[in-house]
Structure 1
Amino acid sequence: MPLSVSHDRKPVVWEQACRYPVILLLAFLVAGVLIGRYLPAARPWPAIFFWVCAGAGIVAMVRQKAAVWFFALGFLFFGWVSMARFASPVINEHHLLAHADGNTRWTITGTVDSDPEIFGNRQVFLLKVDALEAGKKRFEPRGRLRVTLYDAPEKPAFGTGLKFSGVIRPIRNFGNPGAFDYRSYMAWQHVFGLAYAPARRVTMVNEKQAPTFFYAVEILRAELGRAIDRATPGPQAGVLKALVVGKKTDITPWARDAFIRSGVAHLLAISGLHVGIVATGVFVLCCRLFSFVPLLLWTGWVKKSAALVTLCVVAGYGMIAGMSPSTQRAVIMVTVFLLSFVVQRSHRLLNTLALAALTILLVHPPALFAVSFQLSFSAVFFIVFGMGVMQARVARISRRPVKIAANFLLVSFLAIVGTLPLTLHYFNQTSLVGLASNCILVPMVGFVAVPLGLVGVIGHMAWPPAGSLLFGMAGTVVQGALAVAQAIAGLPFAAAHTITPNLLEMACLYMLLASGLAFAGNRSGHAPPDTEPVEGKRFVKTWPALLFFFALAVLACDTGYWICHRLLHKDLRITVLDVGQGNAAVVELPRGKVMLIDGGGFAGSSTFDVGERIVAPFLWRNKIATVDILVATHPDTDHIGGLAYVADKFHVKQLWSSGQPADTEDYQALMDAVARREILMPAYETLYGSRTLNGVDVDLLYPAAGFSDPGRAGSWQGTNNNSLVTKISLKEVSFLFPGDILKKAESELVATTGDRLASTVLIVPHHGSKTSSTPVFLDRVRPEVAVFSAGWGNRYNYPHPEVLERYKTLNTRIYRTDLDGAVIMKTDGTVLTVETPCAP
């Protein structure tokens, strides 16, 4: 539609850009950051364009011309240049990444740069590297390491100097389509490598670093955390530390899950609620106190002085809270609001929100990709926008208590709605009781526990026993809130898991939400917030309907595509996932049936659930919510560690296994999930043999029925040799999944199955160990393609060089998850295609 213009006025878009310059600058800066992230350009052209635009903008200002568009372009190029430094840094001997080869043993000297997290006998912290030494070589690189310290008797304090020897491993991503980019996430925090060391090899270089302001803040945060632990031991201490000092690492998993399922996870992040409570309390208190000062009364500086004092307190609280993106946003917005009292200028909320985002991105461009940044600004934008368009309806309520309750419910509703697409995208879960939970838990936590905790901070600094008393009272309230959250989360309808909406679907959801709110505002006779009458009023009234139906049409087309892609396809698709040192394969049969053969897992790791972090996200991204058959080849952790999560969170119809038990936590967790979700688990004797599923032949070749009978079992038949061996065939193309069978099982399999072993693709047994893939076995299988599922740089040296040579002798195409990432295979029964989209 053409812009509406008159003879003496600028176009509407030009006028709106001049009225909202901060929003315009933010939009261009965001565009620049996105370009710098995904299309980092060769230096120095973006920098040159930035200075040209900046110069043109200054000239336009001098000549009293509109310079906003020149500055906007300048912000685009600035964002491009700034983000490119993170996306494609210059790697030389002064950069830590140049020394993270995983082989060289360095003597590492550095300074503890974070509060250590404790996981069993391990302590994990960040180390700012001061020097690396190996023989006569010495470097002083830039960057930090993520250090894992074993068996340390006590935590190294922030600022402690340490020295130890070890190799620096590069940070690697799991190579699965759409997987979380852990390497970039760490690099944006200036962390470029991993190091491991037992405590006995670590020496303290100096007790503490030279005192600095930030060092003092971190020491204070650590001391407050310890004071909270002493005052209120238990799970409530972790939550209270998150509310007071922004430390969320001590929140127990069940407490975090309870808050998420009950829809109040936002309470765990210090944001506008917490900062607003501090600002309001301090401002009101200062206004009362300063009203007794005659000089301030005579000069009209009561509110101005109160605003300045409040500003200092809010900034201090932000520092103590750790300045997460949500805290930064709240502090900046409150700062702008308070400064409006000082300079006596009004402010537009949308401009203020944009200024907060602009400030954060100018300082740290990668913040744009932080989940907390996106959730925080999305929630506040929808609150501002929604309250603006709905305020006419709320204003009609005459009774003050009802109006306060309506505003509270509306704010909670808008925050939930505003973050819904992001929540579905990142967490695949939405709370169905969030509005009710907020009505109970926000007053308990926000209006009671947080104020008590913050006053406890002051009390602790003034007189520690007083602080301990207040922390104890706050802990009691948090304990009650935890009990309520757990009770609500325990309701069967409290939350629902969903498939992952992609970027297009998220955009459509936001368009539907925004147009719905705008339509409600038009019906109430109120325009969107911060707007004034402009030309094109008919378009202003009709755009919500146009946007709504456009988004609906796009979603309908998208839904049709996914129905065809997921449920109507005729090919067989198999994806061997990169799960590190383990196995997991997703089998998509024609017409939508899904099998999951093993789920990966890390032995001895209670903090990284492969099912939760790798397998489930892959399934949800591919719009898979139902797993028809879950196959556990054998009960070793590296094969079943991730299955319990899948069994619990997905609609699983059957679990196939040999029935062989194991005395491990992972096996018990899987059995508990099967019982809890009432998943059918057929006896192995009924599974052994052949069946056809949606035109695909599925054969369980091994072990033979009755393998566990006392008279038949041999001493060599452990869990590995009793692995299920499954063959999946579509016409002329077949895939063999042998689990972890070893030499003797391979021999028995060859003897009992004969030519039925011949397969187009072999998922290499036991990750490529030299105890498997015997010549006799390979001669019978004769694979055209071999897929090794192994972890990069694993301590077992899998796949073994001898085994690799055996496959090369057969002219077999070799794929490795440790080098190629996920291996995606598709066939129509005649032609096989193999892709490794995440290969470096």
Structure 2
Amino acid sequence: MGSDPGMRALLLAFALGVIALQQQPVLPAGSHALYALIPLSLAPALTWCARHRSEEHRRAMELASRGLLAMAIAALGFFYAGWRAEIRLADALLPAWEGRDIRVVGVVDELPQPVDRGIRFAFVIERTLTPNAVVPSRVSLAWYADREPSGTTRPGPEVHAGERWDLVLRLKRPHGTVNPHGFDVEGWLLENELRATGYVRTEDSNQRVDAFAGRMADYVARARESIRDRILKALADRPYAGVIAALAIGDERAIPSEQWQLFNRTGIGHLISISGLHVTFFATLMGAAVFWSWKRIHALTTRLPARKAAALAGVAGAFCYVLLAGFQVPAQRTLYMLTVAAIGLWLGRPGSASAVWLWALAVVLAFDPWASLTAGFWLSFGAVGLLLYIGVGRIGRMPVWKSAVRAQTAITLGLIPLMLVLFQQISIVSPLANAVAIPVVTFLVVPLTLASIALPWDFMLVAAHQIFAWLALLLETLSRLPDAVWQQHAPSAWAALLGALGVLWLLAPRGVPGRALGMVWLAPLFVLLPLRPVPGAFQMTVLDVGQGLAVLIQTHAHALLYDTGPRFNESADAGNRIIAPMLRALGVARLDGLVVSHQDSDHSGGALSLLQTVPVDWFASSLPPQNSIVRARTLGGKPAERCIAGKRWTWDGVDFAIIHPVEANYANPKLKPNDLSCVVRVSNAYGSALLTGDIEARTEADLVRRDPASLPADVLVVPHHGSRTSSTPAFIAAVHPEIAAFTPGYRNRFGHPRPEIVERYASAGARGLRTDYDGALTFTFAPGSSREPRLEREHDRRYWRETPQRGLAALDH
């Protein structure tokens, strides 16, 4: 079963080839796969030639032959993943059908999830009723409740997994925000085979065709939904009902963000899902039960040994559990490892643990080439790989408690590089939290939860919930400890590689010299900080936050954030989903200044979450005193200033100035919030930038009349995202920018930026850039720097990301 080192090398080569494909900016041409035939043909030739050489030359040639074969298998994995990617990308929504009504018939393909004012679900399209429409086979849909003229909402129809519906949809191609160190929405959509997103239109023709479509997948989805509904009903109003549902069926979306924060701070997030440990425990129970029963029936043991029957039962139980869990990567990995081990047992050729691990790795990537895009893939295989590594060469048996401590220590230390790369944080209290949580969750909470699925006794669910609630009390205590979590910048790739080598050296078996020196190799992870602008220079990043605005200004030792982007829903906004993670990855531990230009939610939506997670030294806005953001700031005992024209300051040789609004503007009841936007100018010896919020024509004219000397700027963040109510010819002429940065959302319902406004800037000689097309825009104002910004979508290219065709951004009403 692959215990031979050569086979293990080939499995690893295949996996590395698949993983390498996911780092490519473009897909390779299929004809290039022919190059893989070169090492594939040379390998057997070398092997044949080696037979007629001396012992020394024969070994060298055999080694070279194995290397060539590994290269060929790596190329096979690379081009196999490319072939799979071509097939998936070909299943696409044509640009001409974006934003148009399309009538289809299809099946609800997964558990519907509640969202603000509606539900969201995956939908498999079986037939397209709109003539000539070309749509992908699987899409992500939202179905929102209708708004009544009175302002109230009318609940939509109930939607269940496995139902067939006739619906009118409005779709758009996969598109997400692209920022430094940001979450890759488009990659996530590709991995989950969601080739378009959209929503259900309010139409009388929308109707349920079949209550149950009857596909194989529908039986599983309906069973999962039934279990989830029963759990949430039995545990109604209990705080950890979502956790119990996650442990039963792998559906984590009912867990509030506050609880996820607790689990991540204490390092037990891996337990709040169907983890490999849970699957292994369940399979062991199933196998042990069958083994015990089988041995007591002589007629059965004469036909099939009890060990083989137990292995078969364990794999079958694991498969059912993984199927119930939604086939997540950690659960898949365990299933495949158990399957490989069982096959080896049946064939009488049990493989080594490392061979089983590599077979599971190769099979996961063969079924899902995009698995490596998920953090769960790396954490799951990384943790098991570390456990296998520390077991190499060990002689004798350890006490159970000592073995558990050793394993937890290895995982805690071994995953440091990976945790810093993926999350830029490490839970210091994780070893203690896991020492309690792993046995409690694995041996008490999970068995009670699974037993409640088979038996109609809700008291088991209540008991499981109560045990977890007691555990949560400990977690909350640990989470409140000072320095419970270490947070820092994202390490560079080479620092992460050195850290990984240091971990392997540190955890090497006894007898390996200088193991303590592995700690030295970990040092670059922590001490090598991201480069900052030199004194007198500044860097400006216009973030891609969708329809909204957020701009980060960094000087040598200071950071200012102008606006905080939009609020997405009740629990998510640009502050906690985009800005805070980026600040942490860049090594910005605190903001020296935060300016919220005005109260519109696409500019202020992320402010509250940022104030809760990032220390802010100085705060200014045009918000009224009763605004929740101002109140949150003042209730914390910190001042909240008003933006007043004339305020100026200098950080590290970089000049900042607020040039609007003036004091009298706040007393004018006829002035709209947009026209109260704080306008900030940032300048140094190498250039200047003007941040304008949502000011409109009235304020633009006032600025041209009142303070024209402060308006000229090399880079202008265009007022109001390019609305026709702003960007008057006189204002553009006064600013005379080299670059006009537009910040609209992709296919936004307002039609920003308006074509006539884009043309107006072009006619004035300004180069237009758009965050929805180009991703985040990073400008550097420093000695010797050009005005050419870093376009994040181009800088961090991936084959699944495409730049929308300019000029085709039809309105998405």
Same-fold call, TM > 0.5? yes
Is the 2:692–2:717 Cα contact (8 Å) retained in structure 1?
Answer: yes
- Given candidates 192, 195, 203, the residue that maps to 2:206 is 203
Change (3 A) 1:500 1:662: farther
Q: Which residue of 2 aligns with 1:53?
A: 40
Do the aligned partners of residues 516 and 726 (structure 1) sit closer, same or farther apart at CA in structure 2, a change above 3 Å counting? Answer: same
| SS at structure 2 position matched to 1:106 | strand
Q: Deviations over 1:421-472 (max 9, x none)?
A: 222222232211111111222222111010111122222xxxx3x3x33223
The AA in structure 2 aligned to 1:500 is: A
CA shift digits 1:4-58 (9 cap, x unpaired): xxxxxxxxxxxx9943622442234323441365153211331673699399779
Aligned pair 1:447/2:443, yes or no?
Answer: yes
Matches within 5 A, 1:432-443: 432-443=428-439
Q: Residues 422-821 of structure 1: matches in 2 within 5 Å?
A: 422-459=418-455, 464=456, 466=457, 468-518=458-508, 521-522=509-510, 525=511, 541-542=512-513, 551=521, 555=524, 562=529, 565-566=531-532, 568=534, 570-589=536-555, 591-602=556-567, 605-658=569-622, 660-661=624-625, 663=627, 667-668=628-629, 671-672=631-632, 675-676=635-636, 681-682=640-641, 688-705=646-663, 707-708=665-666, 713-731=667-685, 733-821=687-775
- CA contact 2:547–2:748 (8 Å) conserved in 1: yes
CA distance in 2, matches of 1:55, 1:455: 57
What is the match of residue 149 of structure 1?
Answer: 143
Q: Is residue 2:213 matched to residue 1:215?
A: no
Higher mean displacement: 64-73 or 811-820:
64-73
Distance 2:77 2:309 in 1: 37
1:373 deviates by 0.9
In 1: Cα distance, 2:557 partner to 2:606 partner:
22
How many angstroms does 1:832 deviate by?
4.9
The structure 2 residue matched to 1:326, chosen from 319, 325, 330, is: 330
Aligned mates of 1:180, 1:124 — CA distance in 2 = 20
Structure 1 length as normaliser, TM-score?
0.84
Q: Does 1:43 align with 2:39?
A: no
Which residue identity lines up with residue 235 of structure 2 in the other structure?
A: T
Change (3 A) 1:762 1:340: closer
Letter in 2 for 1:575: T
Contact 1:57–1:70 (Cα < 8 Å) also in 2: no
Q: 1:437 to 1:835 in 2, by over 3 A?
A: same
1:172 to 2:175 alignment = yes
2:615 and 2:365 mapped to 1: Cα distance?
Answer: 41
Aligned to 1:255: 259
User: How far 1:379 moved relative to its partner?
Assistant: 0.8
- Tell me the amino acid that sits aligned with residue 671 of structure 2: Q
Matched, 1:137 2:132: yes
Q: Tell me the CA shift for residue 507 of structure 1.
A: 1.6
Aligned in 2, Cα 1:342/1:754: closer, same or farther, shift over 3 Å?
A: closer
Stretches of structure 2 lacking an aligned partner (at least 5 in a row) = 52-61, 146-154, 795-802, 804-813
Following superposition, the deviation at residue 126 of structure 1 comes to 0.8
Calculate the aligned-residue CA RMSD, in Å. Answer: 3.3
Amino acid across the alignment from 2:610: V
Unaligned runs of 5+ in 1: 1-15, 396-402, 526-540
**Aligned partners of 1:117 and 1:100: how far apart in 2?**
29
Separation in structure 1 between the aligned mates of residue 651 and residue 269 of structure 2, nearest angstrom = 42
CA 1:682 to 1:99, structure 2 compared with 1: closer, same or farther past 3 Å?
closer
User: Per-residue deviation at 1:706?
Assistant: 6.0
In 1: Cα distance, 2:766 partner to 2:70 partner:
56
Q: Could you tell me which amino acid in structure 2 is paired with residue 85 of structure 1?
A: W
Q: Is the 8 A contact 1:325 1:372 kept in 2?
A: yes
Q: Could you say what secondary structure the match of 1:451 adopts? A: helix
Comparing 42-51 with 119-128, greater Cα deviation is found at 42-51
5 Å matches for 1:357-376? 357-376=361-380
**1:484-530: per-residue Cα shift (whole Å, max 9, x none)?**
33343233432233222233222222111111111xx22xx4xxxxx
Contact 1:96/1:144 (<8 A) preserved:
no
| Counterparts in 2 of 1:420 and 1:20: CA distance versus 1, 3 Å | farther
> Is this contact kept in 1: 2:277–2:442, CA < 8 A?
yes
Q: Contact 1:387–1:410 at 8 Å: present in 2 too?
A: no
- Aligned-partner Cα distance in 2 for 1:308–1:732: 71
**How many Å apart are 1:324 and its aligned residue?**
0.8
Query: Could you list the per-position Cα deviations for residues 563-583 of structure 1 after superposition, in whole angstroms to 9, with x for gaps in the alignment?
Result: 6x2164542221211111111
Structural mapping, 1:279-298, within 5 Å: 279-295=283-299
Does the residue aligned with 1:653 lie in a helix, a strand or coil? Answer: coil
Aligned to 2:150: none
Partner deviation per Cα, 1:122-168 (whole Å, 9 max, x = no partner): 2111111122343x4255x5531111111254442222112222332
Structure-1 residue corresponding to 2:360:
356
Where does residue 103 of structure 2 map in the other structure? 107
Distance 1:475 1:756, change over 3 A: closer
In structure 1, what is the Cα distance between the partners aligned to 2:37 and 2:137?
28
**CA 1:830–1:19 in structure 2 vs 1: closer, same or farther (change >3 Å)?**
closer
| Distance (whole Å) between structure 2 residues aligned to residue 608 and residue 413 of structure 1 | 34
Higher relative contact order, chain-length normalized (CA < 8 Å, sep 6+): 2
- Write out aligned runs for 1:263-342 (5 A): 263-295=267-299, 301-342=305-346
CA drift of 1:240 comes to 1.0
Distance in 1, matches of 2:361 and 2:625, equals: 54
Task: Give the drift of 1:390.
Answer: 7.0
Q: Is the 8 A contact 1:18 1:68 kept in 2?
A: no
3-state SS of paired residue (1:496): strand
Question: So what's the TM-score if we normalise by structure 2?
Answer: 0.87
Aligned partners of 1:802, 1:443: CA distance in 2, in Å? 64
Q: Distance in 2 between matches of 1:807 and 1:390?
A: 70
SS of 2:681 mapped into structure 1: strand
Over the matched positions of the two proteins, sequence identity in percent amounts to 25
Verify the 8 A CA contact 2:116 2:569 in the aligned structure 1.
Answer: no
Aligned pair in 2 of structure 1 residues 645, 115: CA closer, same or farther (>3 Å)?
Answer: same
Q: Which deviates further from its counterpart, 411-420 or 43-52?
A: 43-52
C-alpha deviation, 1:72, in angstroms: 3.2
**SS of match in other structure, 2:675:** coil
